[in-house]
Amino acid sequence: MTDHRKGRRNRAVPQGRLSRLGQFGRLAGGVAGGMLAEGARRLAEGDRPTVRDMMLTPANAGRMADRLSHLRGAAMKLGQMISLDAGDMLPPELTEIMARLRDNAHRMPPQQLERVLAKQWGPDWRKRFARFGATPIAAASIGQVHRAKTPDGRDLAIKVQYPGVRESIDADVDNVATLLRISNLLPPELDIAPLLAEAKKQLNEEADYVREGRYLTLFGELLADAPEYLIPVLDEEFTTDQVLAMQYIEGRAIETLVDAPQEVRDRAMHLLFKLVMREIFEFGVIQSDPNFANYRYQPDSGKLVLLDFGAARPIDPEIAQGYKRLMLAALAGDRDRVREEAAAAGFVSAVAIARHRDRVDAMIDVIIDKLNRPGAFDFGDRSFVEPLRDQGMGVAADRAAWHIPPTDLLFVQRKISGMALLAARLKARLDIRTLVDEYFADH
């Protein structure tokens, strides 16, 4: 979640199909007006601007980020997912727009918050607390978090779902997708249909706070043997399907580690990658949303605070085993085996391999080379991204080679990619070979 106590505005969450559709209409109109103005300016200067040039102006980027953050819900979440899932593979202009949605949430006005909580807890709900912070301490795409204290001394973080979010999920996702397509923002090679389907499914699951509470408790039990991770305890008294109450745990945003000593950054990412290994290969369940706001850090204890289990889901054991074989093949430097395992797992289609073998092998070679260099893997070195993107886009340009991986694979890869992006942000260095070898030696 995004801490937004500084300089954020109160903005009511639009409710109802027509109200939210109107917001999309105003966004489209504002962007179109901005495009006309930019086009006229460039023509006056003797340029011949493309639609893309007119669309990707700072003003239009601001319009899109602001309007989607106002809508919250699926509208905002889809932007966050695109920026995290595609990572370095998107055009930098689109990445910037979507990344702004990770820290641009608005809060509900007090009157709207009051109505939501009265509906969930009854009109006299304030009498059940010794203190309830009116100003949220964090906000995200489908809810905002308040800190509260009960008469018996429990210090709680209470996530309140925005009204109308659950009912608007499918329509919002479709509207955002249409907006992105007609705006010519997405490269034609990028097929976002699988992402849209997963966005709808995940958002519907995340909107069920009783479900999230169960996974919160489950992960607390699974990690009971690992004190380096802290997970809030569910408070069942105040939890409903649209309000999630849990123990409040102090922690700083994980991104603040960017200024920490190298060994501190490396240790934090080691813990996070080790957690991913346990989720995939030991627990059989993964918290699949790698949003950086879901991880916090305690400088004094060195412990990681894990938050937000709405996107948790079980993993098919076959997917986990396929991942294991693929990782071991890559660390063994066996290109042919990597190609075979990638196809067997569902990463790449047989058509893509048959029609673009050289490109696929070139991508495999880049990955093998990076993973098998002596010493720690430097996530801050992004020199390998451009060759991967160039070869990947070359394959994606062939529609016959398009392929939708298994759903479980998409979720697992999303988590791993998100962790890699966080490691890149922190410029962490990690001995991946040792981490993998040690883990599989014990399991």
> What value does the mean pLDDT of the chain take?
79
Mean pLDDT of 262-290: 95
Mean pLDDT of 169-190: 66
Predicted local confidence at residue 413, as pLDDT: 84
Domain 110-161+208-247 belongs in CATH node 3.90.1150.10: no
Tell me the C-alpha distance between 89 and 94, whole Å. 10
Check: CB of residue 244 under 8 Å from CB of residue 158: yes
Lowest mean pLDDT among 240-249, 323-332, 387-396: 387-396
- CA 355 vs CA 129, 326, 395: distances in Å: 65, 22, 9
Q: Which residues are catalytic?
A: 289
Lowest mean pLDDT among 152-161, 176-185, 342-351, 416-425: 176-185
DSSP 8-state code for residue 77? H
> Where along the chain do its domains lie?
17-101+167-192, 110-161+208-247, 253-443
Cβ count within 10 A of residue 40: 12
Mean pLDDT of 322-332: 91
Q: Which two tokens stand for residue 412?
A: 């697992």
More confident residue, 66 or 254: 254
Q: What is the 3-state secondary structure (H, E, C) of 352-398?
A: HHHHCHHHHHHHHHHHHHHHCCCCCEECCCCCCHHHHHHHHHHHHCC
Mean pLDDT of 79-100: 49
Residue 219 pLDDT > 50:
yes
Predicted local confidence at residue 200, as pLDDT: 81
Residue 309 pLDDT > 90:
yes
Q: What is the DSSP string of 254-308?
A: GGGGGGS-HHHHHHHHHHHHHHHHHIIIIISEEE----GGGEEEETTTTEEEE--
User: C-alpha 100: how far from its chain's center?
Assistant: 13
Select, from the ranges 7-21, 71-85, 379-393, the one with the highest average predicted confidence (pLDDT): 379-393
Predicted local confidence at residue 73, as pLDDT: 47
| Angle at alpha carbon of residue 29, lines to 16 and 6, rounded to 5° | 70
**Beta bridge partners of residue 10, listed in sequence order:** 107
Tell me the C-alpha distance between 59 and 62, whole Å. 5
- CA 257 vs CA 3, 76, 102, 232, 423: distances in Å: 16, 26, 18, 21, 11
Predicted local confidence at residue 341, as pLDDT: 94
Tell me the C-alpha distance between 279 and 426, whole Å. 22
Q: What is the residue whose two structure tokens read 């894990």?
A: 306
Tell me the residue ranges of DSSP E strands in 56-176: 131-132, 138-139, 143-149, 155-161
Instruction: Give per-residue pLDDT as tens, 412-428.
Output: 888 888 899 899 999 99
- In this structure, the strands spanning 143-149 and 155-161 are antiparallel
Predicted local confidence at residue 88, as pLDDT: 45
Mean pLDDT of 279-291: 92
Predicted local confidence at residue 223, as pLDDT: 98
Q: What is the residue whose two structure tokens read 């080691």?
A: 270
Tell me the C-alpha distance between 295 and 83, whole Å. 17
